[in-house]
Structures are given as C-alpha cells and as structure tokens.
Structure 1
Amino acid sequence: MIRSMTGFGRGEARDDARQFIVEMKSVNHRYNDIVVRMPKRLSYLEEKVKDLIKDEIKRGRVELYISLEDIGEGNTDISLNSPLAEKYLTCLKGLRDQFQVTDDISVSLLARFPDIIKIETAEEDEDQLWLCLKEASQKALQCLMDMRRDEGKKLAEDIGNRCTYISGIIEIIEKRAPQVVLEYKEKLRERVNELLEDSAQIDETRLSTEVVIYADKSSITEEIVRLNSHIYQLRKTLTEKQAVGRKLDFLIQEMNREVNTIGSKSNDLEIVNHVVELKSELEKIREQVQNIE
C-alpha cells in the first residue's frame, strides 16, 4: 500500500538516569532529506538516528526534535579542593591582619573563589544512552509511519476512483472515434456536391482515398491502447509496498502525453471536450502523486 510523505509522530523513553522525548514530522520532498535537531552532547548519535529513519522512509523531508532531561543522581560529582581553599583562607587572614579590616571571612565567601568547589559530569554510558534514544525514536517513527500509511490509503482510494472515471471517458472517446470518420465522409461528399453541378461526376475512388487518408491521420487507436495500459500500470503500482511516487509521476506524464496527442489529432468538438476533461483529472492525480513517497 502506498504511503503519504506527510505525517507526525512523538515518542518517549526513560531509564534510571535520563528521559528522551522525540518529535518527528515529515513533508513532501523530491529526495530523502533528514534534519536532526538535538543537544550537542548527543551529536555523535546523529548518524545512527538517521540510519534508523532511512530504513523506513525512502522519500520526503523528515525533521526530528530530540530533547534530553537528566533525571538521575549519578551523572554529576561535586568535590572540594581543600588545599586550594586553605591557601585562599591563609591569604584572606593575611589581608585582614595587614590592613586591620573587619573580619568577615565566611564559607560563602570562600565558595565564590574559582576552583574551590568542582562540579564534574560523570562519563555517560554511550550504549545505554543510545538504547534509550533508540526506543524513543522508534516510537515516534512508528506513529509517523502509521499516519503516512493512513493518508496513503486515502490517496490511493481517490486516485483509483479518478482512474475509473478516466477509463469511462476513454471508452466514450473510443466509441466516438469511428463515427467521426463517417461524419467526415458525409461532410466531404456534401462539400463536393456543392462544388459540382452533377453529383454523378463524383469519383468514389478518390473520395474513399481522401477518407482513408483522413482516418489514418486522425487515428487515435494507439494512444487509447497506451492510455489503457498506463491506467492498468497505475492501478497495479498503487498496491506495491515500496516507494512508488516517482513511478506514479512518470506514468502521469506519459498519460498526459497520450491525451495531448489525442487532442492534436482530433478535429471533433466532442472528443476535444473529453480531452479537456481528461487533462483536468490527470492534473488532480498529479497533485496527489506529489505527496506520495
């Protein structure tokens, strides 16, 4: 079943130390374009996230927003640099005694000096970090894919209905085409009669030759056969599981080419009106195809 290129998904995962929230949205795009926005400390995991998405999505622009919250207590260590604190204290006492200033030395004052209290972030377990991010990403991706499949199903239904309508118009044109040749023959005969005083002078062989030439030039049999073939291929493609957007786009282009040829060959107003209708329906299908993966 075909898939749309539009969708949204959200996933969450957590362990003892952290919580991930991943939001993912996709829109139509000619190629497979993946943009990841994540904390800098996770940048080394960007390619893994992209590979995860590429396994499922072959076409479209995908944007990921990854947020990380530390919820554990083991990631940060705070320590006191006692030798340095002692030196600061000695200097402060010397300053007090030398200049006879008020003794306001306190813990809060010492804590303001650089490097007295060290805050260090413990090294993270990269494998555990990836497992948590992977779980959140897979949940978001699953929601995204479900939405793309649901919308794709509706697109396929709409395109299928339009194909049925187009087939009906083609059938009408196919039935009308032989009648156009007969009408041309009668009009040609009437025109010749108007020009000749004696209708007995009409050369039936020459008349038949002109009609045959006209019928050959205006024949749309090949175009109709190809159009029906393209419709069959289009319907078949709608049931395929892989990305088919480019293939559908190609089929629509070929169908447009055949319809244009029918229009250029036909001098019949009724057929021309049907050609206009066909082009309108094909344009609607083309717009839908632009959003198919």
Structure 2
Amino acid sequence: MLKSMTGYGLAGFEDDTFVISVEVKTLNSKFLDLSIRSPRQFSDKEFEIRNLVSSKLERGKVNLSIEFSRKSGEDLPVGFNEQLFASYYQKYLGLADLVGAEKDDIFKLAVQSPNVMIQNVEKTSISEDWDVVKKVIEEALDNCNVFRKDEGEVLAQKFKENLSIVRSGLENIKEEDPIRKDRIRKRIKNNFKDWLEENSFDENRFEQELIYYFEKIDITEEIVRLATHLDYFEKNLKEQQSQGKKLGFISQEIGREINTIGSKANDASIQKHVIIMKDELEKIKEQSLNIL
C-alpha cells in the first residue's frame, strides 16, 4: 500500500475551560524535517512532539501548529508585579513633570518596563493541559496519515497507468525488432554484394563478422530485463509497507534498460516507442519522490 508524503491533518478540542486546535501539513523530504509552532508554555515539550511525529509520519517536511487558548481570564500565562509597576509609573510621571513632557504613553512605558510582566504558569496546570493537547496532536497526526494513504492510492493508480503505457511500448518494440534485424541484414547484403563479388574475401569470415555485429545490436536481453523490472515495480505497489525508496531504485533500472534499447537498436521506428516510454518513466520518477 503506497503512502504519499503530501498530507494534511486537522484536529480540535473544546470544553468549558479551553479551546485547542492542531494543524499538520506535510511535503516530501528524504528525512524528517519538523517545524513546530506552539504556545510558550509547551516549549519544553518539543522532544516529545518530535517523537510523536516520527512514530506516526516517519519522514517528510512536517509543519505542526498548535493553537491553545483559555476561555476565562483566570490563570493567565503571565502576571504583573503591581508594586514595581506603580513605582515605575510614579517615577516616569515625575520625570515628565520635570521637563514638561507629554504623559500619554507613560502607562504603556511602565507596563513594558523590566520585570513588570512575569510568567505565571503553574506546573500542575501545564501538565494537565498538555495531556489534552497531546491527544489532539495524535488525532491530527492520525488524520494526516489517512490523507497520506488516500493520496497514495491515487498515485498507485497513476503508476499503473504509466506502467501500462511503458508495457505497450515494450510490446511494440518486440514486434518491431525482427523487422529491424531483417532490414539491417538486407541492407548489409545489398551494400556488400558487389564488393564481395569483385574482391576475394572469405565468406565464412564475413558471416562470422556479421554474427558478431548482430550480437552487438541485439536487444533481447534488455527487453527481458525491462519486462522483469516492470513486474517487480508493480509487485512493490501491492506491498503492505510503502516502498518509496525502492520504487525510485527500480525506476532507475527501468530507465537504464530503455536507454540501452534505444542506443543499441539505433532504429527510427523503435526510437519512437523509446521516447514515449522515457516520457512515462519521467512521470514515474517524479511521483516516486513523493512516496514514503
């Protein structure tokens, strides 16, 4: 079963206390490339999040976004040192009177002064909140996995269509090959007929050279190997585990045999089929990069 590395997962949770939303977006990558955007109170959970992602998505470029907000104003993640704020405020007022400056921004200036705003998050609250957030993350990752499987099924169907065209080209080459050989044989005999009659030449030696030449341009082995690679590719499409890297390697071998057929055959009619096969193979290679 193929699984695409392109995916999307969304999950949410809401009760009387808070609202949670987790979004996961994935693209293709050789390794796990994780980017996390989360509230400050969960900054120490990055390692745990990474383990969750790697266990469910394996690899790919992953963007994970966590939105977390409380419905009430209680237990805000920040607090204020009120005495320090008042001291700053009075000090700034005195300085403004001293030079006759405007006082419109003094409140904002005092609030932003050093150590006025302080973190005010209880560890027990973070632990309880995280348990819920973690479940939502797991749900979003599971939804992303479902998306990846659905995309993989679409890609598998495209691969089968591409393979069908390559197989069709291979069958056409099988039909063209005997005609090609006969055409080459006739051309050689016609070109050398007069020369052989006018010059003393060992006909047996000539036949041996001819056999050697036909062995050099014979594409039977390449045809057999190409058919085998196509069968192996299709077999891996049906495997339970997604085989992205293996499909990439097989497609390289398919390309090698197609190129060899084209160069050894050196025939216009066969080259037409080779071009079509190479075009379909490029589509296969491009899509296999997106397979997990």
Question: So what's the TM-score if we normalise by structure 2?
Answer: 0.79
Aligned equivalent of 2:270: 271
8 A contact 1:7–1:144 mirrored in 2: yes
Give, in angstroms, the shift of residue 231 of structure 1. Answer: 0.9
| 1:104-253 mapped onto 2 (5 Å cutoff) | 120-196=120-196, 204-253=203-252
SS at the partner of 2:241? coil
Over 3 Å counting, the alpha-carbon distance change for 1:61 and 1:120 in structure 2 is closer
Aligned equivalent of 1:29: 29
1:290 equivalenced with 2:257 (yes/no): no
Over 3 Å counting, the alpha-carbon distance change for 1:10 and 1:265 in structure 2 is same
1:39 equivalenced with 2:31 (yes/no): no
**127-136 or 30-39, larger mean C-alpha shift:** 127-136
Over 3 Å counting, the alpha-carbon distance change for 1:119 and 1:206 in structure 2 is closer
SS at the partner of 2:123? coil
8 A contact 2:41–2:121 mirrored in 1: no
Over 3 Å counting, the alpha-carbon distance change for 1:187 and 1:132 in structure 2 is same
- One-letter amino acid matched to 1:19: V
| 1:6-85 mapped onto 2 (5 Å cutoff) | 6-14=6-14, 17-71=17-71, 75=75
- One-letter amino acid matched to 1:232: D
Question: So what's the TM-score if we normalise by structure 1?
Answer: 0.79
Gap regions ≥5 residues in structure 1: 89-111
Aligned equivalent of 1:99: none
User: How many angstroms apart in 2 are the aligned matches of 1:286 and 1:219?
Assistant: 27
Offset from partner CA, 1:213-263 (integer Å, 9 cap, x none): 122101212212221111111111112233321111111111111111111
Aligned equivalent of 2:259: 260
Give, in angstroms, the shift of residue 15 of structure 1. Answer: 5.1
Give, in angstroms, the shift of residue 72 of structure 1. Answer: 5.2
SS at the partner of 1:264? helix
Over 3 Å counting, the alpha-carbon distance change for 1:78 and 1:224 in structure 2 is closer
8 A contact 2:32–2:59 mirrored in 1: yes
| Equivalent pairs, count | 263
- One-letter amino acid matched to 1:28: N
**16-25 or 224-233, larger mean C-alpha shift:** 16-25
Over 3 Å counting, the alpha-carbon distance change for 1:175 and 1:289 in structure 2 is same
8 A contact 1:15–1:132 mirrored in 2: no
- One-letter amino acid matched to 1:224: I
Q: Percent identity?
A: 33
User: How many angstroms apart in 2 are the aligned matches of 1:14 and 1:127?
Assistant: 17
8 A contact 2:8–2:24 mirrored in 1: yes
Give, in angstroms, the shift of residue 53 of structure 1. Answer: 1.6
SS at the partner of 2:57? coil
SS at the partner of 2:233? helix
